A = this chain, B = another copy of it.
Amino acid sequence: MRKENSTNAINERILNGLCQTAHTLSVIGGRWKPTILWRLLEGKMRYHELKKSISGISERVLVLQLRELENDQLITRIVYPEVPPRVEYELTPLGRSLESLLEHMCSWGEMHRDATRQAGELAVSKN
């Protein structure tokens, strides 16, 4: 038995229980999750459309993130029993309820980037 495993994981669970902010992070905190959610906010999409519209993501990771989002009940996976297989992903109401939060994060990010870039440029041009 190896050391009553990982304070790391334990800490994470405790925090997610105590702090709803941490919980939210654990839900949308995957590298590609915001991107996926943005895409789906525009309407349901097929697996391959998602794949092509998100440049840089690998299939494995895309599937993993989709599964996690599904588990967290943010998206639904709809399989059409058709000849060439067809699978669509769609936001649940819970998923759509993220829209305003995502927008909030996005605009804060923009503001923060501008604010810090300015500071950087000032430091450079201060000659």
Q: Is A94 in the interface zone, CB < 8 Å from B?
A: yes
Closest to A102 in B: B21
B15→A35 contact, CB < 8 A: yes
A contact residues, total (Cβ < 8 Å): 42
Interface residues of A in 85-127 (CB under 8 A from B): 94, 97-98, 100-102, 104-113, 115-116, 119
State whether A25 touches B29 (Cβ < 8 A). Answer: yes
A17-61 residues with Cβ-Cβ distance < 8 A to B are: 19-25, 27-29, 31-32, 34-35, 38, 56
Provided the pairs A20-B109, A72-B112 are in contact, do residues A34 and B25 lie with their beta carbons within 8 angstroms? Answer: yes
Chain B residues with CB below 8 A from A104, complex form = 100-101, 104
B19 contacts A31, C-beta separation under 8 Å = no
Each complex incorporates copies of this chain amounting to 2
Within the assembled complex, what's the spacing in Å between the Cα atoms of A94 and B104? 15
A73 and B119 contact, CB distance less than 8 A: yes
A79 at the interface (CB under 8 A from B): no
Q: How far is the CB of A29 from chain B (nearest CB, A)?
A: 6
In the complex, the 4 A-B pairs of residues with the closest C-beta atoms, listed nearest first:
A20-B109, A24-B109, A21-B34, A23-B109
